[in-house]
Amino acid sequence: MKKNTKKNCFLWIVMLAVIVMILPCRIVAEGPVCYFTYTGTHNPEDPGSEVYAWQGSMSAEAVLWQNDTAYFKAVIESAEQTHVTVNTECNLPLDILVLDETLASLGAGENTGAPYVTVPEIVKETNTLEMAAGERRQFLIRAQVPAGTPAGTYDGTVTVETESGISTLAVHLQVVGLSLPEENTLSLNLWQYPYAPLRYYACLQGEEPFSAKHREILLDEMRKYAELGGESITVTAVDEAWGHQTYDDYPAMIRWHKDNDGWMWFDYTQFDAWVSLCMEAGVDERIDTFSILPWSSAVTFDMEDGSKVNYPLSVGSQEWRDVWGTFLMDYMYHLNEKGWLDRTYIFIDERDIASVQAAVDLVRSLKLEDGRGLKLATAVNRIPRETELFDQIDYVSVSLAAVPENDPEFDTFLQHRHETGLETTMYTCSTNYPNSFAASDPAESVWTVHYLASRGFDGFLRWALDAWPADPLHTLDYRLFEAGDTLLFYPDEADADSPQARDSIRSLMLAQGMRDMRKVSYLLEHMPEGAEKTALQETAENIRRSYGNFNAWGAMYASGPDASVLICEENEAFRACVDQASLAMPAQAGTVWKKNACE
């Protein structure tokens, strides 16, 4: 009996040895904890994430058009310090984007008592990361559908590999036989701050504005802005048009000179360099000039002896009219020579009505010999009731805080401007909710686009694209506003040799909202009448709104979990309705239709 036992043990040892020889050399252990979570919230445990159909799941789905993009967000949790590699496999392009973290105060300005939160929102195009024991990190899966992709179902896998094992997520993409229109149906105007890189990047120390190296960095950023849908160029005609609200100095791109005899002349060197660069990057619809009403009501002259003189002017006075009239006429002649006059606006930002009226009267009184002049634009943080005045302003942007609910007069104002070919957009800024601060739910950025379209606005305006605080990759604190209010694009590392601008989760969600509205416009124009079209139209025209409160540290955020959940619910209901309408469109010849992605 003992002899047989020994024989059996020997046979088992031999068999085990053979198995080990034929197995792969690395035995895979249990992998890391991975699951999908809602892109619309930063924290997977946020109540708003429960709105997402695949919260906590190992698989997720999306309905996509040709030339379309979708983002899934996933979480990795690691019990040990480890290196992580994420790979994808699919017949459609799947890219991995890691969400780097930065600190954001929950207060406004220099409120030192406010708590901080860590926000995973800086988009880094890499498929690797290092994790500490007990850490939780988030990453995005970007699914892209090239033009001409056949309609049908595409399944992909996402493999998350750590030093201890592998976990796998699944994505199911339902591609419909529709092509996303290339042109945005909404305008996008995000104000730019091209002087910030000169302070921030080590490789630009000692460089002059718009040097070759400076241009290289700015071109990368402005191309990204153009891809986002950005159309407008921000230029400054005076120093610190907004009273130095930015971390960095913002000088005039057009230098005002005066000689000893009082003769005024203007240097457009930096202005020309910046506008030409933006147009090369594809940002070429509008030139917004700030401003005939700078917040200090003063202009700065570079004097003949090399000194600078800050010259205050009383708005509406004859001296103010003479000085600004001289500049504006010179500006128009220069713009005409460059071929830019017809796209240039004098922009008035949040000023009192009397000052706006004075500026409108002056600008409208100045014309070239052929009768052409400058256009006018304004941003207002109040309901614009003065119809006669605002009829003279080509572009008006209204703060979300001033947009009323159930106000027939305001709705008539929007409809009137639309019918007369005047553009009207909505903007968000500090003290608004919903918003796109760093600590805001990313869902708020999507909702904002849906909402402004539902109210009849023509587009979105926001400051700012890239007004970076001191060290935005580590903390977004700034002396005046909520964290993140000053930027939607992040810089690269300060010591990078060839810096490239980086998206935020907020800029990606803004782009998603813009794509959504391109789909809605196409569907409402081309869908046959029926239940799906009616449902889409009703959904697109009736976006519910929630409100915020000032917190204990002076910042405006959601009034409570119910308010943020409502925003998430609106986004998901909107997405589901667009998906159903997309799937209900008549099939094209040869198209394979599988509706299971939405069921």
Q: What is the three-class DSSP state of 527?
A: coil
Cα 245 from Cα 264, distance rounded (Å): 28
Tell me if 48 sits within 8 A of 568, measured CB to CB.
yes
Buried b (16+ CB within 10 A) or exposed e, 515-531: bbbbbbbbbeeebeeee
> What pLDDT does 39 receive?
98
> What pLDDT does 491 receive?
98
> How far lies 33's CA from each of 138, 140, 438, in Å?
12, 16, 26
Task: Report the run of H or E that residue 376 belongs to, with start and end.
Answer: strand 375-380
Alpha helices in 69-211 (DSSP H): 196-200
> What pLDDT does 20 receive?
36
> What pLDDT does 110 receive?
79
> What pLDDT does 477 receive?
87
What are the 10-residue block averages of pLDDT along the chain, 599 residues in total? 40 38 40 95 96 97 98 96 97 97 93 92 98 97 97 97 95 97 96 98 98 98 97 97 94 96 95 98 98 94 93 96 98 98 97 97 98 98 94 98 95 96 97 96 98 98 96 94 96 98 98 98 94 95 96 95 97 97 70 32
Please list the residues that pair with 266 across neighbouring strands: 256
Cα 139 from Cα 36, distance rounded (Å): 10
User: Of the candidates 80, 186, 71, 70, which has an alpha carbon nearest to the alpha carbon of residue 518?
Assistant: 186
> What pLDDT does 589 receive?
33
Tell me if 64 sits within 8 A of 174, measured CB to CB.
yes
- The model's pTM: 0.92
At residue 578, φ and ψ (nearest 5 deg) are: -65, -40
487-491-492 Cα angle (round to 5): 160
Cα 409 from Cα 430, distance rounded (Å): 26
Please list the residues that pair with 460 across neighbouring strands: 188, 426
> What pLDDT does 587 receive?
56
> What pLDDT does 112 receive?
77
Tell me if 198 sits within 8 A of 470, measured CB to CB.
no
Set out the domains of the chain in order of their start, with CATH numbers.
Answer: 187-504 (3.20.20)
Cα 312 from Cα 316, distance rounded (Å): 12
> What pLDDT does 109 receive?
87
Cis peptide before 70 (omega within 30 of 0): no
